[in-house]
Structure formats: structure tokens, C-alpha cells
Amino acid sequence: MTGASCWWAPAGGSPKFPAGLGTVWLVLAALACAGPTPPLVAPAQRAPWLREDPQRCLLLRDLTEDMETMAQRCAEEFVRENGYTVLPATDDSTRWVLEIGEGGAWPRVFAIREATLEDEASSAQCSMRQCLVLFRLRRQSLACAYRAVTMSQVFTRLKLEPGGIRDVRCGDRRA
């Protein structure tokens, strides 16, 4: 039997157990009534009001992970969907976000963005108000430069911040 509840009782009313067998019957009844736990699966379709906001993270949150881990997963998905990695941008145009100063046809925008950032974030940090996730630039001449993805503490308002961040001590460590 599957489902949220299970009820068992003998035909004559409440069961009478010999001493010591009550626990055994209780365990057996619980095992018989316990159905398989449904797997945690992401829904194939998201609610329309969620999809309307391309700057909202749609990943399911594993409540055992900390905010930084979730922020990193959201930011990595965001840069993949918007064509910054070696993978092509998502076909779902509702997830595309223009940066400040960008414009024109989407194929042109994606051609400029293509493979500019690493697939995996370098670091993530969250405060009470926002999360910041850094991605290393892929060009060899800018090996010590990063771009930042910011978002709210509830993983909305994702955006790639304009400009970059340069690690001035990076050259010392790389030598």
C-alpha cells in the first residue's frame, strides 16, 4: 500500500497483543504501511510567474547546503544560460539577460560573450543582503581577472556586474 497513511486493525476492534509482541506488530505494521519515498525531482515546467523573471534562480535548493553553495550553483547556471561559457546559451529566450550597454540581435550578443568565463565559479560569498560569485576570465592575458555575478540573498536579481576585478597579487602566486 502506498500513500501518506495506512490503517490496520483486526475485524474485532483493537488488537490485543501478548506481552512483548506489541512492539513487533507495531514495527511490522509501520513497514507494511510505509510506501516508497518519492524522489525529489525538479518539475518539468515552472510556474509562469517564476519564468517571467529571467534574473531568478530556478534551481531547487537543497536545504542541507549553505547559501554560498546555492549562490554558486545559481550563478553557474546563469552564466551558462546566457552564453558566457564554452557551452551554447540556452534555447529558452526567457532566461536571457542583457548587460548594461549591450544591444542588437541575440546571435551577435552571444558571439561576443562566448567562452569569456570559466564554467565553474572561483568563489562565492553571501552577506545579509546579497551574494557575490566570482568567475575567472578565460583569456590567457587576463588570467588574474574576474567578473562578478551578484544576486539577492534569496537568489533573485541575478546580474553580471559591469567591468572586471583584477587580482593584483595573482602574478606573485603564479610565478
Antiparallel, parallel or unpaired: β 130-136 and 145-152: antiparallel
Task: Collapse the DSSP code of 31 into the 3-class scheme (helix H, G, I; strand E, B; otherwise coil) and give the result.
Answer: helix
The CA-atom distances, in angstroms, between 6 and each of 26, 67, 115 are 12, 38, 55
Say how far apart CA 64 and CA 77 lie, in whole Å: 19
Residue-wise pLDDT tens digits, 146-158: 999 999 999 999 9
Q: Where in the chain is the domain with CATH 3.10.450?
A: 53-174
Residue-wise pLDDT tens digits, 48-83: 667 678 899 999 999 999 999 999 999 999 999 999
SS3 track for 17-74:
CCCCCHHHHHHHHHHHHCCCCCCCCCCCCCCHHHHCCCCCCCCCCCCCCCHHHHHHHH
How much is the pTM?
0.70
pLDDT at 36 over 80: no
Amino acid identity at 91? D
The domain made up of 53-174 has a fold known as Nuclear Transport Factor 2; Chain: A, (3.10.450)
pLDDT at 116 over 50: yes
